[in-house]
Structures are given as C-alpha cells and as structure tokens.
Amino acid sequence: VADVETTGGSKGTHRMTELGFCVIEDGVIVKRFTSLINPRQPIPDFITLMTGITNAMVEGAPEEDEVIPRLLEELRVDGTVFAAHNVGFDWGFVSTAMMRSGEDVPDRERLCTCRLSRRISSGLQRHDLGSVADYYEVKIQARHRALGDAEATAEALVHMIARAKHEHEAQTLSDLLALQTSPRTKPKPIPKGHVEVMEQLKDLPDEPGVYYFYNTKKKIVYVGKAKSLKRRVQTYFQATPKNNRKVSRMMRFVRSLHWETTGTELGALLLESREIKRIQPSYNSASLDYASSAFLRFTTEDYPRLELINRIEDDNAEYYGPFRSQRMAERIQEMIVKQHGLRTCNGVLHPNTEMRPCFSYHIKLCAAPCACLQSKDDYRTSVNSAREYLSNVERGAMAKLADQMRHASENMDFERAAMLRDGIREIERVTLHAQDRPLAVSDTNVIIVVPTVDRYSTVEVFFLRSGRLALQRVVGTASRMDDLHDAVHDVFTPEPPSGPFSHRELDELRLITSWLYQRRERSATIIVNKLDVNDVCIQMEKVIRSFARTIPIDADSESYNEYSQMPEVA
C-alpha cells in the first residue's frame, strides 16, 4: 500500500518528493518504508504549505533511482498487489520513475481504496482519505506525508477487505479487484414478507444488545450486536444499500426478529460471540469458530525460555497477552530475547563444560549457559530483567520502546520509528490500561466498571480472576452494594481457578482487552492484586458512585470494528 508526495499533479512534468509504503500480510502491517526524494525541481509554495516538505529538506535527499528499488523489491514478489488511495495517481508516478531509472515495470494487479470505498462504505458521502479514515476509525498519524497516508490507507483497507468478504461475497483476490469497478445497483423495495417484522421494529429499544434474525422456518439465520438496537436493526429494513448482495439475499428470508439488551457495548460484544458459537447461524460467516490467540510464555525450566504459544496451559508458567497478531507477538519476543540474551534452543538444558557453544554465542546473542560460560544465577538475573522489561509498563518495555522511537524519529529513520510505535500499541493493548502493572495473565485480577446507556443510573461491572471472566453484572450507581461486596469476596478470596483456559475463556479475554484498548476513556479499571479485599470493595463502590455524577458522553454513531460480524448497512 503506497503513497507519494509530488511537486504537482502531472507525472510527465512533475516528480516525487517522498515515497512511503506498507506491506500487509494476513491483515497486519509487517513492513514499512519511507524516504524523501530529491525531485531536481523546485517545490511550489502551495505544495510545501500542504505537506510541510520544503526545498531545503529534499536538497540532500536520495535520487529517485536510489529509492525506487526498495519498492521494486516488494513488487517483484509473486502475488503482490499494488494498492493506493487513487491508485492511478500513485502508480503513474512510481511507474514513470521506474522507467526513468531503467527498470522494468512489474505487471501487478492494482487496487484503488477510493473506488472500493465507493462500493462498500455504506452511507459515506465523501471518499477522500480523511473521510474514509474517519469512517473506519483509523487515525492518520501524519496527514499529507507519504508514510502517514500509506499507513492510514493500509489500515482502512484491512477493514474494507473484511466488509467485502462478509457483505459482498469477495472470497478471493479476483473478487476483491472486481468489486472496485462493479456497477452500482439500485435500491430494491422492501419484501412483502416484512410486514410482520416492521411492527416488531417499533418496540426496539435504543440500548446496547444482541439481535437475532429468524427465517420462515423460525430458524435463526443471523446474530449481531449493536450499541443501539433501534438504530442498527432498522437499517436492515430500509432501502438496500448499493452492492450489498449478501445482506440483500439474507433479508429476503427474514420474517421475524428477537433481541436481548445488555448493559453496555462490551456486554453485547461478549454475548454476540457466545451466541454465534452456540447457534452457528448460516449468515454469520465470521467468528463461527474461536479465533487463535497469541501469548508469550516464560517456561518453568531451570533455564527458562520466552516462547510464543496460542493457548494457556495449567503449568504454572507466566503468560503474557493476548496479542492481536502472532506476527506482532513474534516481534516483541525477538526484541526481548535479544535485549536480555535469553536462550532460543529447545529442550531441557544440562550445562557441561565440554559443551561447544552454538552460533548464538558467537554472535553475542546468548552467553552460553549450556557450556557453563554463564552461571545459573546470572541467567536467572537475565530472565528476571526480561520479565521486568515486559511486566512494568512505565519502567520496562514501554519506556525503552518510546525512547528508541524518539531516537529513530530524530534520525529520520521513520520506518523503524513506526515499527517501534506498533510495539508500544501492542503492549498497551494487553495492559488493561493500568500503569506499572504486571501483564502476566495469572496476575490479571481486575474489576472493570463501564457506564451503561443510562449513565446516571447504572453501570456494568466485569470481574476478571487470573484472566478469566468470573462475573458480569449490571448494578445501580445509587443502590446498596452488599451483594456486590459478597461477590468480590467470593471471586477474589479463594485460590485462583486452575486448569487450562477453554476456548471461550480465551475468546472473552481477547474481546475484553481489545474493547478496553479502543474504549478506555469510557471505563474504569480497579487492580485487585495488591489490595486487601475490603479495600477493593471500598474502591469499587467509590468508582461506581462516581459515575452517577459523570457528565454524559455523547453517544457515538454505529461503527465497524474488528469483532463486529456485519457492519451497519445504511
């Protein structure tokens, strides 16, 4: 996914001043590159005003024939697609630069995210990058700079691919490419069979919850969640949006509906996931199975290793996560192992002075405890340092990553700075937004308080005990707390639950941590680990009471996120 900044709009007479691109694999950005380019012509004042790129900045920058090979390296990989927002503009400049540099122009498929958005972003009137980014809740880090715009385009594209798959039957690359140029269909009238269901719509509450669509045989064909049941469900029974073939086909068979309210959007998200797995509706093509989670684990060996795993066993080991993607977990694992010299060899270690150190020792990645060149105590010190690095948000990995990111930015190494920023975000994602708190799943003993739609009257509380969802309840902000105090003692006083995590428990932990990352300003988290249970009760009651005096937060419009099954359709 690429973006270029130029001296003007014509590829023949104008040239690039900056090139930035991202490589996406499996829905995750795995590589970034950006560089200023000396255009060998003056940059107009209005371009400088828009981009911030000055003639002085590009005077000593590389020539285009030095930069273009980095893009060609990726484009020459079989199966690669070149994507951009207004792909004709960006491809025109990079292909012209390739020819000027004496390079063959690769014959690659091209995808325009602007065209794709016009086909699938229901209800969006403008499809410039800023509008599309807002629609998919993507933050543009540096607008009108090549890497900033390329990143935003890439993240929006990931959302659009999910929507194209779930709503438009785009199951292959060919389907996706065809969708960007497919003709726009006209709205169709509401089927006669919806007369009964239209009466039910009048009773829908303006509250979070889960809705169920039934077909003519009284079978559930679709389950969805909404922050407002009234707003979301009614959109399905309005004029069919352009090119929404899957929804159109499903709605022909819908004859009745049912709904269940929840206190909060998080409650709806958890209930939706459970119900989809239980019912297996025919039109919920996503999330019928449990998604794989990525964790980092310190093994319980005499010489522990930090390894990547996708489950939590009952082995007394320390697990950290869940991380959003396996690739990001791999990056953090690699960073920590290198930083602290942890061993990467498999199996139980039996140190012996006759042992020959492996290659990792010779390139200074390991101090060779296997050959007794590092004592057990010294190795344990390294492990504890690695644990501290990962566990303590303020003093550990977060602080070091932030320092490294600032250093990379100051040295104009924007590609490395962006990678380090990703690492910071991923660690933030699994911290439940507490400062200086261990990330180990076994230490995730927290109470989360989320205001409901009736913000002055009720909140929904979630108890997590050793990473497992142990209680979920809606309570009044002014009600007696005796029962909730008893629940605190019942959940947090006994020994923590044992046994491996079930698929459902892993799924709930993943959903909760992801939701808190996106909606952290709307909730409060109480860390139970170091508090007396009675103090926990006092703090929890204080937090719950405080929401009765909170200034209401404006309700957001419905939006698509990575765990929604089907986005809004109007």
Instruction: Quote the CA–CA distance of 182 and 260 in Å, as a whole number.
Output: 37
**Could you give the angle at the alpha carbon of 414 between the alpha carbons of 408 and 415, nearest 5°?**
105
If you average pLDDT over every residue of the chain, what do you get? 84
Confidence of residue 185 (pLDDT cuts 50, 70, 90): low
At which residue do the structure tokens 């000055």 appear? 54
Quote the pLDDT of residue 564: 29
In this predicted structure, the answer to whether residue 435 has a pLDDT above a threshold of 70 is no
Instruction: Quote the CA–CA distance of 140 and 137 in Å, as a whole number.
Output: 10
375 or 331, which is more confident:
375
Instruction: Quote the CA–CA distance of 164 and 179 in Å, as a whole number.
Output: 8
Q: What Rg do the C-alpha atoms of the chain give, in angstroms?
A: 27
Q: pLDDT tens digits, residue range 389-414? A: 776 544 455 566 667 777 776 776 76
Residue 273 neighbours by CB under 8 Å, 6+ apart: 287, 507, 508, 511, 563
**Contact predicate 523/487, CB 8 Å:** no
List the strands of the sheet with 16-25, edge to edge: 2-6, 16-25, 28-36
For residue 311, the SS3 value is coil
Question: What is the biggest distance separating any 2 CA atoms in the chain, rounded to whole angstroms?
Answer: 84
Quote the pLDDT of residue 164: 86
Residue 211 neighbours by CB under 8 Å, 6+ apart: 223, 224, 225, 226, 229, 232, 233, 257, 258, 259
Highest mean pLDDT pick, 53-67, 109-123, 385-399: 53-67
Nearest residue to 334 via CA among 302, 313, 360 = 360
CA 282 to chain centre: 26
Quote the pLDDT of residue 393: 44
The mean pLDDT of 7-33, rounded to a whole number, is: 88
Q: pLDDT tens digits, residue range 348-370? A: 888 998 888 888 888 888 999 99
Quote the pLDDT of residue 429: 59
Q: pLDDT tens digits, residue range 272-331? A: 999 999 999 988 876 778 877 889 999 999 999 999 998 899 888 889 888 777 777 887
Quote the pLDDT of residue 184: 65
**Contact predicate 41/51, CB 8 Å:** no
- Token readout for 368 is 């060779």
In this predicted structure, the answer to whether residue 12 has a pLDDT above a threshold of 90 is no
Confidence of residue 530 (pLDDT cuts 50, 70, 90): confident
Instruction: Quote the CA–CA distance of 197 and 74 in Å, as a whole number.
Output: 52
The mean pLDDT of 517-526, rounded to a whole number, is: 76
Kindly report the length of the chain.
570
For residue 405, the SS3 value is helix
Quote the pLDDT of residue 436: 44
Instruction: Quote the CA–CA distance of 568 and 163 in Å, as a whole number.
Output: 10
**Contact predicate 273/224, CB 8 Å:** no
